[in-house]
Structures are given as structure tokens and as C-alpha cells.
Structure 1
Amino acid sequence: MYEFKIGINPTEHDRFVQGHPLCNLLQSASWAKVKDNWGSEIVGAYKDGELVASSLVLVRPLPAGFSMLYTPRGPIMDYSNKELVQFFMDNLKKLGKQKRALFAKMDPTIIYKDIQMDREEIPNPLAQEVITNLEQAGAKYQGLTMEMSATIQPRFQANIYKADFSEEQLSKSTRKMMKQAQKKGVTVRMGHVELVEDFAKMIQLTTERQQISLRDSDYFKKLLNIYPEQSFIMLAEVDLRARYDETKARHDKNQQDLANLKENQVKKRHNLEELEFSLTRELAELEENIAASGEKAVVAGALAITFGTTSEILYAGMDDRYKRYMPAYLTWYEAINECFERGCESCNMGGLEGSLNDGLIKFKSNFNPTINEFIGEFDLPVNKLLFKASEYAYKLKKGKK
């Protein structure tokens, strides 16, 4: 016999989630503090006094006193246990009635199939069983959607596994980009709240360039303070003054070499004149950058959070004026490596469109990820009379975003 409880101790819940194969940051108890504009509950099922299923449930207010429930990347349980799934769904529905919810939405981290970068597909043989068990328990399956805008969380994500990640395992071109960044003076340092303002500037530049809406410095501070031991910022910088002085010294030497050439050294003159043009252009660019950014420029950044053996690079940005410095390659490499140094077995680089041909995958593929395709979203009707109307209104609203 199972026992359902509302108000599970957050520490007990986190311990259960962190030890489960479906572990995900969005199911950590502290995620409710991130989503503090929603209500929340932690609920679970026990068998013989042992927690066997648990979920952070967010409660979003709707018009006319109604609400919707959402279990982000949850619930966490054994979905092959048909009896447990039915018991949990029945009790989730009861919770929904208490909260005047029209429905409960869920998107468990059950993989439908993995896709390698060479496009080899590895199906999950248990995926259909999970879908069937949830449907038989009363949940309505929303299907294999392809666009990121169709679901709350992306159905496709680029996920790097520790066993597939090392500098030696990266492609020759990726290693070349990292070396180019180092050659151009890019350095990377790790920090916390003290780096937020500089990091937020990178995100702002990214939002302006890509015409998307991300977050501000207050939100990043909030994340870092909620997960003080599990979060970090990786920031890439260039000492423009030092680079200018170095380039100026090379330029002066090149001019001296040109002045000392003999008339018959035609080939060498050609090479030095090409170098003269390149160094003159770089000096002008550095002068312009120093005027705009100061003597030391922040050029890229990434914010990551670890939870259990999983980690997420939630936000990353770059100053496009320095894209020739290739700072994003070093920033992402160091952030991913730090997650693995902290004991994580995987690092999620974020969502992708189901077509797998957008600009996001082009960059992320440099780090040898596996594409996880999840089974997708389910809606558990609570108020059957109003569910269909609310489902239509919800989809309409999603379509307008």
C-alpha cells in the first residue's frame, strides 16, 4: 500500500531526487524560490515508510480564482511501475482539486531517444511503456512536438556526458578555436555574485543581437544566492592595454625590418608589407575597443548550476565586437569542465529546435554533446468540465509568445 503526503521535507525530497536516475535541477526544492511568483508544494508517495516518488509542484494562479499545477521535469518516480503511476496521478488530481486547478502539466525527463552528432539514433525501448502508463492513469499526451515554443521546457537538449568530454576528444577545429582565443589574450576566471554585473552586460548584448528576451542582473543574483554552493559564473576577459602594447611593439619592429630591407628582397618585402597592414588594422581596432570597453574588456560569460550528478549551463552570452577572439569556446569549455570537476556526470548546454538545424546546434556541436529527445508534455485534467476550454486558451497563449 502506498501513502501520499503533501509537504515533504525539502531535504528529504532533494536527497531522493539527487539519487534518482531522473534527477533534474528543476525538481530541486529550491527551484520554488526561483519561481516565487508561483505557489508551490512538495508531494510524495511512500511505501513501507520509504519515499518512492516525489515532486515539486508549482501552482500558477489563473483568472476567476482557478489555477494550474506544473511539475517541472517531474514527477520523479519509476514510471514502469504502473500501480505507482496510477496512485500518484490520482493523488495529484486530488491536490489539484484542493488548489482549484483546471489541470496539472508535467514533462518528466524520460528520454524518447538519444541522437548522436553523426545523427545515429538510440531509441529508449521503455519510452512507449511510460507514455502508455501515464495515459492509462488519466494524463493526456501532447505528442512529439518539434518547436521549442510548443512546450514549457525544450523537448530536445544538447547534453554532454563526462565520458565523452575532454580536450583530446574535441574536434581539431574546436581545439584550434580555443588556441586562437588564448593566442589573442583571452583569459577565463570563475566567480560568483561579484561577477554578476559584468555577466549581465554580456547577456544584454546577446539579447539585443538575437532579439530575444533573457534575464537581468537581479535574476542572476537571485539564482546565485538560492544555490550558493552549487552555482558559478565563468567570465572571459581580454587585457586590451597589454594586447595593444604587445601589438605596438610588433608593429614597430616590423617597420624597422621594412626599413632595413635590401632592394632585391622582394618576397620578404611583400610578407612584411602584409604584416604591416594587418598590425596597423589591429592597432586601430584595439584603440577603438579601449575607447569603448576600457583597458580590460569582459568578452563572454556563462552561468551554471550543479545538482546531484547533473548540471545546467542556464545562461551564456558574448560581446559580438570580440567574436574574432573566439572567447565563447574557452568560456564554455571551462564551464563544462568545472561542472565535471565538481562531480557531475552530465552537463546540459540547453534546448534545441526539433529540426536540429538551427544556429544553436552549430556552436554546441563543438563540444561533442548527445541530443536528448524527451517524450514531452502531459496534461492531467482536474476540472474535466473546464479542461478543454482551458487547454485551448493555454495553447492560444503559448502561440502568441
Structure 2
Amino acid sequence: MSYEFHSDADPSLIDSFVMKQEQNTLFQCTPWAQIKENWDHLFTCVTEDDKIVAAALVLIRKMPLGTVLFYVPRGPVMDYHNEALVRFYLQHLTAEAKKAHAIALRFDPAVLSKKYAYKDRNEAHDAQNTDVIELLKKCGAEHKGYTVKIEESTQPRFNAEMDVTDDYREHLEHKTAKCIRASEHKGIEIYEGPEYIHDFEIAMHYTEVRKQVALRNEEYFAHMMKVYGDHAICMVTKLNFPKQLKKLSASIAEEKNALAQEGLKKKEKSALHQRLQNDQKEYDRLQKDYQREGKEEVITCGILAVYNDSLMELFYMGNNPDYLRMYSSYLLYAKCLDRCVELGIHHCSFGGVEGTLDDGLTLFKSNWIMNVEEYIGEFNICLNRPMYRAFDQIYPFLLKTAAKLRGKE
């Protein structure tokens, strides 16, 4: 038996292989190449007796002076404990990179160093797959280390995820379940479909303004929906002021009538008073919001997710800061997790998080029975050290600065 390297593999065969692996990731399925339109790409694989045993979507970024960067996001996908296979694949990928005048072959395998429940984050957890790191070093790869900050690597080394069970709602924290119910009670309605991509972009713009950065535009989001088709989810939440004001008005009237009844127990009367007070307060606030907005309906949140046979990735979410009290993000997360249950998907990725695990976004994600995945990190096989050093040190800074400048436009 011997290995064979293929630099122009059948995309459908690669996808079939990747989705069956423990390292299954959307970043190594071939549609991701269509999303990264500004990169060239190669669909590569290794076969043994005509059977795929390893695969890698290689993204190729054009660089100055006729050079390129070879990048394998969350890959290659293979058995990293099979030394012969690892050496064979990296040798051939490096050879392809050299032929293309690449400054480096960069990759960050979907191989875990640690995985633990967020609630156990302060406990000690032994690092796994240290032998894989050593093997990759022997193959000539330089390990970027156990980075903590998102900006320190191309892909975040820390990732938030949830192992979704059919009865996950029964295991949510009381606060999370309460926020979901509150969102529905406050009149938040969900709209789903590619026709709402413009509304989703508006929701994302709220986040851009708040963070003073430029993320992605409507064209990019529409392209994602087109590429992934039925495997893409675009949901937005909206609040209809007249509809909710009418509902609150009816509730207030009912509560007043109930309080006028004789024979109420003290506990019942107290509860009714509290509900009336809350509804009246919300009614008055909504009236002011309605007047300020000058329109009947407002977008409160949006989410864009993509899935394959066994994984869902929540890629983007935007929130209207003026309506955080509506808990729309909780409702959308719940609907995506419900979809996982419907589709039989048990792994839902919430995306990268800071390794400190204490920022606001991580705290929100931690409401969902969150697990922390720590990957072994990023590796580089340098082929043009001066160019690579300039790229590695200067390019991330330029990207970050450009994003901030676009966000202020």
C-alpha cells in the first residue's frame, strides 16, 4: 500500500470525507473556497488504495513581488497520529507551495488541546495532543504557541461550542430560559429566509457602529446565502410598535379589571400589581421608542448560520443596542439550536472567543451550556523568511487599522 497526492481533487469527494471526520469543519468543506473569492484555492487530498485518507482546502493569497501565501484553515483533515501520513501530506503540500512561490504554508488543524465546560474554566485541564505538536515541528513547522488573544492567530485558538441534545431546553439555566420567554412576551417576531438579508445587514451595522469597525457588507452576506443555499440560515427579529402597544394595552386593561375583583389573596394581588406596573412601564417606553423611530417596525437582531450533516456554525450576529431589553439574541440562538435538534445536528459552534473567557461576548455565549474548545494552534512552514516576517508582523496590523477606518466612514 502507498499514498498518492492529488492537487485537483473532486470537491464532492472531499466534502464527503471531511463531514465524516471528527475534525469536521465548514472551513475545510469546499464551498468555503467560493466564500473566499479574493483567494485562489486548491482542493487537495491523499488517497490510499483509491480511498481518501486526508484532505485539505488550500487558500492562496496573492502577495507582493509575485509571491503567495498558502493557508489551510482548520486543516488539513487527517489522522495526526499517523506519522507516515502526516509527513507525506505536508511534504507534498510544501512542494506545491514552493512551486507557487509561497512565502509559507500556514495551517491550524482542528485538533483539540483541551475541551471543557465553561463552568469548569478555572479548573486545571491537561493538554492533549502534545505529541501532534512535536510531530509537526519535526516536519519543519513552527508552532505559534498557545495563543490567547483572537488577534494573535489567523483563526481563534479558543472556540465556543455546545453539544446539542434533543432536550437541551430542559437543561438551560433559569436566566436563559427566562430571557427566551421574555423576548416572545415582548412581541419579538422572527423572520427567516434569504429575502431578509438586507434586514440582517442592518442588524450587523449596529454592531459595526458600536465597535467602530467594518465587518462584512450585504453583498458578502448575500453571497454566503447563495453559496450554501438550503444549508444557510438567515433570521432577523423585528418589533412592531402598534401591534405590541395594542397587546400591552389589552394586558393592562385585564390586569386592572382583575385587581378590581373582590376576594383576591394578598399574594395574587401583589403579583397583579407587579405585572401591571411592568406592563405600564414598558408601554410608556415603547410609546417613546415609537415616536423616536418614526416607523411602525424596527429590526432588533439578526443571525446568519451555516450547517452541514453534523455541524452548525453561527457565523454572524448583530444586535440593535437600543433594544437589548428585548432579549432578541436569546430568541435567535434558541431557534438555531432548535433547528439543530430538527436536523439531528449535535455540534453547534458559536465561533471564536478570547482566551481570557471573560469578555462580554463570551459571557453571553456561556448562557448556552457552553463548552470551550482549545485547539493546538497555528503552524507555519516558512519558505521565504524575510517576506514571511514582514507579512506576519505588519499585515494583521494593516487589516485591523483598515477595518477601523472603514468603520468610521
Normalized against structure 1, the TM-score is what?
Answer: 0.90
Quick check: 1:89–1:138 contact (8 Å CA) kept in 2? Answer: no
> How far did 1:58 drift?
0.6
2:394 is matched with: 396
1:59 is matched with: 60
Matches within 5 A, 1:1-400: 1-119=2-120, 120=123, 122-123=125-126, 125=128, 127-163=129-165, 166-189=168-191, 191-251=192-252, 281-291=281-291, 292=293, 294-382=295-383, 386-400=384-398
Amino acid at match of 1:311: M
> How far did 1:312 drift?
0.3
> How far did 1:274 drift?
8.2
Unaligned runs of 5+ in 1: 262-267
Quick check: 1:114–1:123 contact (8 Å CA) kept in 2? Answer: no
The structure-2 alpha-carbon separation of the partners of 1:273 and 1:192, relative to structure 1 and needing over 3 Å to count, comes to closer
Identity %: 29
Quick check: 2:161–2:370 contact (8 Å CA) kept in 1? Answer: yes
Quick check: 2:382–2:388 contact (8 Å CA) kept in 1? Answer: no
- Deviation per residue, 1:3-53 (Å, 9 max, x gap): 111100111111111111111001111111110101101111111111111
- Deviation per residue, 1:293-328 (Å, 9 max, x gap): 632332112111002311100001121221111111
Quick check: 1:105–1:377 contact (8 Å CA) kept in 2? Answer: yes
The structure-2 alpha-carbon separation of the partners of 1:365 and 1:320, relative to structure 1 and needing over 3 Å to count, comes to same
The structure-2 alpha-carbon separation of the partners of 1:240 and 1:84, relative to structure 1 and needing over 3 Å to count, comes to same
Quick check: 1:165–1:368 contact (8 Å CA) kept in 2? Answer: no
Unaligned runs of 5+ in 2: 262-267, 401-409
Quick check: 1:113–1:121 contact (8 Å CA) kept in 2? Answer: no
- Deviation per residue, 1:43-98 (Å, 9 max, x gap): 11111111111111011011000011001111111110101111111101110012
| Secondary structure, aligned partner of 1:305 | strand
Cα distance in 2 for residues equivalent to 1:272 and 1:164: 35
- Deviation per residue, 1:163-182 (Å, 9 max, x gap): 49611110011111112112
Amino acid at match of 1:43: T
| Secondary structure, aligned partner of 1:114 | strand
Quick check: 1:148–1:154 contact (8 Å CA) kept in 2? Answer: yes
Amino acid at match of 1:107: D
- Deviation per residue, 1:208-238 (Å, 9 max, x gap): 1232332121111000000002111122223
Quick check: 1:234–1:335 contact (8 Å CA) kept in 2? Answer: no
Quick check: 1:7–1:43 contact (8 Å CA) kept in 2? Answer: yes
Quick check: 2:357–2:363 contact (8 Å CA) kept in 1? Answer: no
Aligned Cα RMSD in Å?
2.6
Q: How many residues end up aligned between the 2 structures? A: 391
Quick check: 2:307–2:313 contact (8 Å CA) kept in 1? Answer: yes
| Secondary structure, aligned partner of 1:398 | helix
Cα distance in 2 for residues equivalent to 1:341 and 1:160: 16
Normalized against structure 2, the TM-score is what?
Answer: 0.88
Cα distance in 2 for residues equivalent to 1:172 and 1:188: 22
Cα distance in 2 for residues equivalent to 1:11 and 1:195: 29
Amino acid at match of 1:318: N
